[in-house]
Structure 1
Amino acid sequence: MRARFVLPALGAVAALLLTGCVDNSTPAPETSGAASSVTADDAAVALLPADVAASGTLSIGTDAAYPPNEYKDSAGAPIGWGIDLATAIAGKLGLDPDFQISKFDNIIPSIVGEKINIGESSFTVNAARMEQVDFVNYYESGIQWASATGTDVDPDNACGLRVAVQATTVQDTDEVPAKSDACVAAGLEPIEKLQFDTQDLATNAVVLGQADALSADSPVTFYAISQNDGDLQAAGETFDVTPYGIALAKGNGMAEAVQAALQSLVDDGTYDDILNEWGVADGGISTITINELAVG
């Protein structure tokens, strides 16, 4: 999921920290493929905060509702290429991954409150989020629209159309509203934004004819197209390419440790293997950075 853009107000953050944010009953994923054969990188391990190293586990917040990045299998365990990548990061750090499924908006407050070590949930890196947490960049994602096969839709000329989005994504909070406002300013019909709790419901709305198009992150849209038996097609080209980042608490050393782990995965080929296994290699990067807003 392209990173959800809206953040809780500071008062709401405090309330979330008090009420608890994660589901500790999350089943463990069954790791296979490239992520299952990762060995520890001593240089990355040496950068870990002492308390995390001593715990033996890396607690990872994810909302698991954004296939193919992060979602649930039939047993409720998290799967996806983001989950594989987080598992591989844990392996490079010599730790066991402990996934905790949470509502997306609760993950950053959980990191700030040190309830979890990292957040891996397709966070788009932006300045507002960086006021609260650090980000280790690991992927480049853009926005991609899709429509029903045989129905031509232009994302730059969508006035009056019904567009499905997943709630709290940047498409919901920023992209589609901005396009709709431009329509109104030009004296045209606004876009009717159809908001859904999960991406699969947004996708189904297009397949069932309830929406004219959907807008989502590029790997999510292309996965939806591949999974819907010819019922969906890409609408327009990918645009607004921005980084995904692993979210971490500021100033405790975790960002540097995760950066080293990810760079090790890039250097030994595991990173590319994971992306290729899931068909999302187009957004791969070769240099892992911290708190970079630009891509390329």
Structure 2
Amino acid sequence: MKKILLLLITTFLFNTSLLAKDYEVIRFAADPNYAPFAYKDSTGTLTGFEIDIGHAICAQLNVRCQWVESDFDAMIPSLNAGKIDAILASMTITAARQKVIDFSSEVFSSPTAMVFRAGTELSTGTAVGYLQGSTQEVYALKVLAGQGIKVVAYADQEQVYADLRTGRLQASLQDAQQAQSGFLRSPQGAGFVLGPIIESELMPSRSGIGIAKGNHELKALLDKALAALHADGTYARLQEQYFPGVNMFSGQ
């Protein structure tokens, strides 16, 4: 009995130390072309709301953050290949994604809207751009394309806005708060407006941190850290810094 007890204790200590060793560093995927959630500042440093949330999570867990820059549609394959530990990149929690990955509790909630040049109206043949791999892609392909609208996929959001400015696109479809607090507040967004919020079950509003399917340990750590950020006021401070006067958390 003593040998069995000793073996159990030894196994527990080994597994605990292994877990701690595994998460001395958390490798987060990030999209650096998605201001104000993640972007490069004038010095080339990766910053933004989700970047600061990530650093605050790592501080809570006493681990180091490592940011792996990636196109959005490459993140889930990288996660499932073990190249990263988690995705902190405005990834909406959907039933389809939950079949292949798990999610932390909510990081933020934001609906979808289009951006147009003021005075533009959608019609047959109008070109609308969206981020490849996003929930907006599902809506674009299933709804807009069926209305005769030309839908165009892009690897990053900044390229969507670049083509919107040059007139190659007549509208863009994206997270409303990303557009409102990013592109439309920038000099490049002059002359463009945000359209009405689009309500569709194809585009849920809640985003979380993507983690590998069945990684219950990391989920528990991330959920605990996120709860702590709300409890100590860190989340509210960062929310006000990046989205003044806006409530980004649904509480669900």
**Common fold by TM > 0.5:** yes
Give the TM interval when normalised to the shorter protein: 0.7 to 0.9
What letter corresponds to residue 266 of structure 1 in structure 2?
A: H
Task: Find the counterpart in structure 1 of residue 240 from structure 2.
Answer: 276
8 A Cα contact 1:159 1:180, kept in partner? no
TM-score under structure 2 length normalisation: 0.81
TM-score under structure 1 length normalisation: 0.70
Q: How does 1:240-279 map to 2 (within 5 A)?
A: 240=200, 241-249=204-212, 250-279=214-243
- Give 1:244 deviation, angstroms: 0.5
CA distance in 1 between counterparts of 2:193 and 2:35 reads 17
Task: Find the counterpart in structure 2 of residue 175 from structure 1.
Answer: 139
CA distance in 1 between counterparts of 2:194 and 2:153 reads 20
Q: How does 1:40-59 map to 2 (within 5 A)?
A: 50-54=17-21, 56-59=24-27
What letter corresponds to residue 53 of structure 1 in structure 2?
A: A
- CA-based RMSD: 2.4
Task: Find the counterpart in structure 1 of residue 113 from structure 2.
Answer: 144
- CA shift in 2, pair 1:176/1:229, >3 Å: closer
Q: Percent identity?
A: 22
- CA shift in 2, pair 1:121/1:49, >3 Å: farther
Task: Find the counterpart in structure 1 of residue 127 from structure 2.
Answer: 162
For the pair shown, which has the larger CA radius of gyration, 1 or 2? 2
8 A Cα contact 1:146 1:233, kept in partner? yes
The secondary structure found in structure 2 opposite 1:109 is helix
8 A Cα contact 2:37 2:49, kept in partner? yes
What letter corresponds to residue 58 of structure 1 in structure 2?
A: I
2:74 matches 1:106: yes
Task: Find the counterpart in structure 2 of residue 36 from structure 1.
Answer: none
- CA shift in 2, pair 1:87/1:281, >3 Å: farther
- Give 1:76 deviation, angstroms: 4.3
CA distance in 1 between counterparts of 2:156 and 2:250 reads 31
Task: Find the counterpart in structure 2 of residue 72 from structure 1.
Answer: 40
- Give 1:74 deviation, angstroms: 4.5
CA distance in 1 between counterparts of 2:172 and 2:220 reads 37
Task: Find the counterpart in structure 2 of residue 41 from structure 1.
Answer: none
Structure with greater helix percent: 2
CA distance in 2 between counterparts of 1:152 and 1:237 reads 17
What letter corresponds to residue 206 of structure 2 in structure 1?
A: P
Q: How many residues align?
A: 230
Unaligned runs of 5+ residues in structure 1 are 1-47, 184-189, 288-295
- CA deviation profile, 1:226-282 (whole Å, cap 9, x unmatched): 113532111223534421110112234110110010011011111111111111763
8 A Cα contact 1:49 1:253, kept in partner? no
2:199 matches 1:239: yes
8 A Cα contact 2:109 2:250, kept in partner? no
- Give 1:214 deviation, angstroms: 0.9
8 A Cα contact 1:180 1:191, kept in partner? yes
The secondary structure found in structure 1 opposite 2:195 is strand
The secondary structure found in structure 1 opposite 2:125 is coil
CA distance in 1 between counterparts of 2:139 and 2:245 reads 24
- CA shift in 2, pair 1:89/1:192, >3 Å: same
CA distance in 1 between counterparts of 2:209 and 2:245 reads 18
2:183 matches 1:224: yes
CA distance in 2 between counterparts of 1:238 and 1:280 reads 22
CA distance in 2 between counterparts of 1:199 and 1:268 reads 33
Q: How does 1:174-193 map to 2 (within 5 A)?
A: 174-183=138-147, 190-193=148-151
8 A Cα contact 1:163 1:211, kept in partner? yes
